[in-house]
Amino acid sequence: MDIALIGGHGKIALLAAPLLVEAGHTVHSVIRNPDQAAEVEATGAQAVLADVETLDAGGWDDLLRGKDAVVWSAGAGGGNPQRTRAVDQDAAIASMDAAQRVGATRYVMVSYFGASTDHGVPESEPFHAYAEAKARADEHLRGTALDWTILAPSRLTLEEPTGRIALDAPEAGEVSRGNVARAIVAALAQPGTAGRFLPFNDGEQEIAEAFGAAG
């Protein structure tokens, strides 16, 4: 597949890109800062410069035209509610709408464990803006005609990836970013994960096997 990897310089994306290339995909990693291009291209991906906060509909169409799949791994990083809404909600939704317009039918969203319109995070907490933005983006994705998968990892760590997860765990735990990267690759390889919200922690089941059972 020809994949647009949005948020290409993020920690998860930098781990996912070489795995996607190794799996035979062509990866276009979308970044805002040209200074990051060399690091991104060292993964085997092609760096594409675009600011997802400012792209209009035509810009999004140009960015995603000819792609088979979109992987959303971008985020504002918290701290600024307005920017969180602009990136995690508005830009994400714009990418979904463009993907439908140009025929990039496979869409994998990296969300978080517990993401829901009923997230229960009080407005007084800093996490509220992020929880709201992700909930609205995920909900919009569910309403599209795309073959979507929402990956919902729990608290992210920098531990070495094991390639094993606990899918549909009843409570959030933690998961390595490397395992999330592997989950992206596995989701794209498993058509049966389309239309699924997949919460997971680190665990004992091999990722592809877990996703195969989920499908």
Residue at token pair 């509909």: 57
Mean pLDDT of 83-104: 96
Pairing of the two strands 196-202 and 147-153: parallel
Q: Residue 176's pLDDT is what?
A: 98
Give residue 7's identity as a one-letter amino acid code: G
For the chain, which residues make up each domain, given as ranges?
2-214
Q: What is the pLDDT of residues 123-169, one digit of tens each?
A: 778 788 889 999 999 999 999 999 999 999 999 999 999 999 999 88
Give residue 159's identity as a one-letter amino acid code: E
Q: What is the CA radius of gyration of the chain?
A: 16
Mean pLDDT of 47-72: 97
Fold of domain 2-214: Rossmann fold (3.40.50)
Residue 117 has pLDDT above 90, yes or no: no
Quick check: 105 and 146 in contact, CB under 8 A?
A: yes
Please give the Cα distance from 108 to 111 (Å, whole number): 9
Decide which of 85 and 170 is more confident.
85
Q: What is the pLDDT of residues 10-29, one digit of tens each?
A: 999 999 999 999 999 999 99
